[in-house]
Amino acid sequence: MDISCRAGNHLWHIDPGFSQISEVPCVSPGSAEPDELDTGLWSSLPVKLLLTFVRFFGVKCATHPFVRLKHRRCFAWISKSWQLYLLLISILVIIVDSFKSYESYLNRIKSFEFTALSISIYRLFFVTKNLFFVIKLFLLRKTAKRLFKAVHDICWPRGENMETTEIAQRKVRNFAAFLVGTGCVVLIVILLAFFESFREIITKKLTVGKFDCGWWCPIRFPVLGEFPLWLTFLFYSCSFTVAVGVDISPQLFTMLLIYPIGLRFKLFTRHLKETNGVADTPPRTARPSRSGSRLGVPWSDRSRVLRAQTVFHLEMSQLVLEMDEAFSTLFMLVYITDFLGFIATASMFIHNRNGSAHLNFDTEILPIFLALVAISVIFSLLRTGFGVWLSEQAHSVLPHLFELNLRVSSDEDTFLCTSFISRLQGSRVALTAGGFLYITREFVITILGVLLTYFLFLYQMQDQKMDISRWTKPEVDLYKPAFSKP
């Protein structure tokens, strides 16, 4: 990450982001470094709240943010055993939902009503996917902690310019506050959707029933028996709130890691352009370090500084690769779920537009379905947008490297620039969906084309179906008298 040499109690540090040499006090082997949650990139309150949120839903990324509070025992129950509870809750939701929906699924498969069938498949896949999420997040405990610490060490290095670190910390704090607000709003929306859905169930039972039972109306579950409506509402609202939390928590965590890495890539590109923009004059003297010393970078050290910059960019790229290896499978399942939700929503929209009133699904589940689809759309836009932004920031250095390659004169500098360019052109620094698709601008264009094509296909098929049903009946009525007895 850097090139340094020790001299007494100080470390002469070459910062590859600024191309400067600064004097940094050394840390003795016996002394402990400060925790990243106390002083550093993750020390702000919004970041700690976000870490508590994702930790509650299964992402074990660090020691508990509030472990040093006086009332830390209130948070002690969020331990390794809590992930086992999340796993049991997910399994219980799948079992109960399967018992409740078995007859409905069977009837929809027999009738092959596409809209109802697609909604059922989306609902079942959404619940089953969260079971895999809980298991995967349990296996990623050590990886998440390592990534969390590595991002802090790279984006908050010792000897960094104080103004730059304060700006980065402020941006990360504001971004974490935005993510916390988004997560809380999502959970509130899903609870309101369940309340509206169960209120419609009460209205439906009041219409067809002989008496007003309200929230005490019995709900029958195959094998399990009957339960009052309020207990069913409590179970489904809590379980689906946990399911949605498990679904969005790894996405919030990855976006929290993506943002400072993208900022660091952006800062790296800007300073590479500034420090290597002039070929015939040596770089400007370094900025004063925290200790107040001001050292110039000799022109003979240009190759060493360029090598340090290359290694620094490589380490950040490796960090993105490790993050992708950890979460790419989860991203692939999320994109599949989003695609199933798009199919169900598009089919329902086309049916309603063509006036198909007799749809074979329960209309009281529509608030829940639409809430889940809206949440999927919001997080799909955020996840894809930040993934594209990260890839663009990582490759934004390429034009400046081309220019620098034309300006350098020594063979060593030419080799460093050429190898740097070849690495960026040969492999994408980006997140992927299961290792199959890079989340880049091309990915967004491809997905939009697929969604538009599929929507037009469904629309055309539905129009043909409506035309057949519209013209078949008059033709039968026209020729019916000819074949009837006098």
pLDDT tens for residues 418-459?
A: 888 888 888 888 999 988 889 999 889 988 888 888 888 877
Secondary structure of residue 307 in the 3-state scheme: helix
**Cβ proximity of 350 and 299 under 8 Å:** no
Nearest Cα neighbor of 16 from 258, 263, 264 is 264
State yes or no: pLDDT of 255 exceeds 90: yes
Grade residue 278 by pLDDT with cuts at 50, 70 and 90. Answer: very low
Residue scoring higher pLDDT (44 or 8): 44
Rounded CA separation 305/4 (Å): 11
Report residue 165's pLDDT band, with 50, 70 and 90 as the boundaries: confident
Q: What is the pTM of this model?
A: 0.79
pLDDT tens, residue by residue, 315-339: 899 999 999 999 999 999 999 999 9
Q: What is the DSSP code string of 324-362?
A: HHHHHHHHHHHHHHHHHHHHHHHHHHHHHHTT----SS-
CA 81 to chain centre: 25
DSSP class per residue in 376-434 = HHHHHHHHHHHHHHHHHHHHTTHHHHHHHHHH--SHHHHHHHHHHHHHHHHS--S-EET
Look up residue 445 and give its DSSP letter.
Answer: H
The pLDDT assigned to 13 comes to 44
What pairs with residue 10 in β-bridges? 7, 25
314 backbone dihedrals φ, ψ, rounded to 5°: -65, -40
Give the whole-angstrom CA distance, residue 398 versus residue 134.
39
What is the Cα–Cα distance from 270 to 278, expressed in whole angstroms?
Answer: 14
The predicted-structure confidence for 386-428, as pLDDT tens digits, reads as follows 999 999 999 988 888 888 777 777 787 788 888 888 888 888 8
Please name which of 453, 392, 99, 400 lies closest in space to residue 279, comparing C-alpha atoms.
400
Is the four-CA dihedral 363, 364, 367, 372 of positive or negative sign?
A: negative
Cα(414)–Cα(406) distance, integer angstroms:
8
| Residues written for the chain | 486
Contacts of 133 (CB under 8 A, 6+ apart): 58, 246, 247, 250, 330, 333
| pLDDT surpassing 50 at residue 212 | yes
d(CA 38, CA 33): 11
d(CA 50, CA 257): 12
Q: Give the residue, 442 or 103, on which the prediction is more confident.
A: 442
Q: Which of 103-107, 154-158, 391-395 has the lowest mean pLDDT?
A: 103-107
